[in-house]
Amino acid sequence: MSGDSKIGPVGGVVRTAPVRKITGNADAATAAASHSAASAALPGAKLIRLASDLASQPPPVDAARVASLRAAIAEGTYTTDAKNIALAMLSYAQGRAD
C-alpha cells in the first residue's frame, strides 16, 4: 500500500522519482554510473558535501578569550549584568535575537 491521502505515505517512504528497473547488461551499468556522476555535479549535491565538510570541522574557538574568561572567573573578577542577560533571553525567546 502506498498510503491513504488522509494520513500520508505509509512507512515514511516518499519517492521523488518513479522506480526504474536496472537489468544486468553493461548498458544499464554504464547508464547508472553516468547518472550518479551527473548527480554529483548538481549544485545540491555540492552543497550537501560542503555542509558535511563544515559539520565535521571543530567550531572556531578564540583560545585567548576563553583563557581570559577562565582567569577572571578564577580570580573572582568576572561580573555579569543580570538585567542585560534577562533582556537578551527574552529577546531571543521572542525571535528577535540581535
- In the chain, domain spans: 21-57, 63-93
Q: Which amino acid is at 28?
A: A
CA–CA distance, 40 with 56 (Å, rounded to integer): 20
pTM equals: 0.35
Q: Which DSSP state fits 92?
A: H
pLDDT for 44-65, tens place per residue?
888 899 999 988 988 888 999 9
Amino acid 42 reads L
Cell for 53?
565538510
Q: How far is CA 69 from CA 42, 73, 76, 80, in A?
A: 45, 6, 10, 12
Please determine, for residue 81, whether its predicted confidence score (pLDDT) is greater than 90: yes
Residue 80 or 24, more confident: 80
At residue 95 the predicted structure's pLDDT band, cuts being 50, 70 and 90, is: confident
